[in-house]
Amino acid sequence: GEPYTEVGELGEGMDGRIVLVRGRAQTIRAVGKKMAFVVVRERGFTVQCVVTEKEGLVSRQMVKFVASLNRESIVDVHGSLTVPSSPIKGASQQVEIQVSKIYCVDKALPTLPINLEDAARSEAEIEKALQAGEQLVRVNQDTRLNFRVLDIRTPANQGIFRIQSQVSNIFRQFLLSGGFIEIHTPKLIAGSSEGGSAVFKLDYKGRPACLAQSPQLHKQMAICGDFGRVFEIGPVFRAEDSYTHRHLCEFTGLDVEMEIKKHYFEVMDIVDRLFVTMFDSLNASCKKELEAVGRQYPFEPLKYLRKTLRLTFQEGVQMLKDAGIEIDPFGDLSTEVERKLGQLVLEKYGTEFYILHRYPLAVRPFYTMPCCDDPAYSNSFDVFIRGEEIISGAQRVHVPELLIKRAEAIGIEVKTIETYVDSFRYGAPPHGGFGVGLERVVMLFCGLNNIRKTSLFPRDPLRISP
Ligand code: 4AD
- pLDDT tens for the 466 residues of the chain, in order: 899 999 999 999 999 999 999 999 999 999 999 999 999 999 989 999 999 998 888 999 999 999 999 999 999 999 999 999 999 988 999 999 999 999 999 999 999 999 999 999 999 999 999 999 998 889 999 999 999 999 999 999 999 999 999 999 999 999 999 999 999 999 999 888 887 779 999 999 999 999 999 999 999 999 999 999 999 999 999 998 889 999 999 999 999 999 999 999 999 999 999 999 999 999 999 999 999 999 999 999 999 999 999 999 999 999 999 999 999 999 999 999 999 999 999 999 999 999 999 999 999 999 999 999 999 999 999 999 999 999 999 999 999 999 999 988 888 888 888 999 999 999 999 999 999 999 999 999 999 999 999 999 999 999 999 9
Instruction: Say whether domain 155-454 belongs to CATH 3.30.930.10.
Output: yes
Q: Is 433 in the pocket of ligand 1 (CB under 6 A)?
A: yes
The residues annotated with a catalytic role in the active site are 238, 240, 246-247, 389, 392, 440
Q: Is 452 in the pocket of ligand 1 (CB under 6 A)?
A: no
CA 323 → CA 60, 232, 344, 403, distances in Å? 74, 40, 8, 38
Task: Give the per-residue pLDDT at 121.
Answer: 95
Q: Which atom of ligand 1 is nearest to the CA of 390?
A: 19
* CA 123 to ligand 1 center in whole angstroms: 31
- What number of H helices and E strands is found in the chain? 14, 16
Tell me the one-letter amino acid at 80. Answer: S
**CB-based contacts of 264: which residues, under 8 Å, 6+ apart?**
357, 369, 379, 380, 381, 394, 395, 432
Q: What is the ipTM of this complex?
A: 0.99
Q: How far is the C-alpha of 157 from the C-alpha of 464, rounded, in Å? A: 20
Instruction: List 368's β-bridge partners, or say none.
Output: 396
Q: What is the helix (H) or strand (E) element at residue 271, kind and residue range?
A: helix 265-285
Q: Is 53 in the pocket of ligand 1 (CB under 6 A)?
A: no
Domain 7-106 and domain 155-454, same fold? Reply is: no
Q: What is the helix (H) or strand (E) element at residue 441, kind and residue range?
A: helix 438-445
Q: Is 159 in the pocket of ligand 1 (CB under 6 A)?
A: no
**CB-based contacts of 334: which residues, under 8 Å, 6+ apart?**
none
CA 365-227-391 angle, 5° bins: 35
Write down the pTM of the prediction.
0.96
Residue ranges per domain, the chain? 7-106, 116-151, 155-454
Cβ-contact 106, 74 below 8 angstroms = yes
Q: How far is the C-alpha of 163 from the C-alpha of 59, rounded, in Å? A: 44
Q: How far is the C-alpha of 352 from the C-alpha of 388, rounded, in Å? A: 10
Q: Is 390 in the pocket of ligand 1 (CB under 6 A)?
A: yes
- Angle, nearest 10°, between helix axes 287-296 and 155-177? 140
Cα Rg, the chain, nearest whole Å: 27
Task: Give the per-residue pLDDT at 1.
Answer: 87
DSSP secondary structure of 378-404:
BSEEEEEETTEEEEEEEEB---HHHHH
* CA 180 to ligand 1 center in whole angstroms: 21
Task: Give the per-residue pLDDT at 154.
Answer: 95
Pairing mode, strands 388-395 and 181-182: unpaired
Pairing mode, strands 45-52 and 96-106: parallel
| Mutate which of 236, 242, 353 for ligand 1 pocket (most atoms within 8 A of beta carbon) | 236
Task: Give the per-residue pLDDT at 195.
Answer: 73
CATH number of 7-106: 2.40.50.140
Q: How far is the C-alpha of 253 from the C-alpha of 158, rounded, in Å? A: 21
Burial string for 195-228 (b: 16+ CB within 10 Å, else e) reads beebbeeeeeeeeebbbbbbbbbbbbbbbbeebe
Q: Whose CA is nearest to atom 14 of ligand 1?
A: 435
Q: Whose CA is nearest to atom 2 of ligand 1?
A: 392
| Backbone dihedral region for residue 395 (phi beyond 0: left; psi -120 to 50: alpha; all else: beta) | beta
Q: By C-alpha distance, which of 250, 278, 282 is closest to 452?
A: 250
* CA 385 to ligand 1 center in whole angstroms: 14
Q: Is 248 in the pocket of ligand 1 (CB under 6 A)?
A: yes
Cβ-contact 296, 163 below 8 angstroms = no
Q: Which atom of ligand 1 is nearest to the CA of 433?
A: 11
Tell me the one-letter amino acid at 196. Answer: G
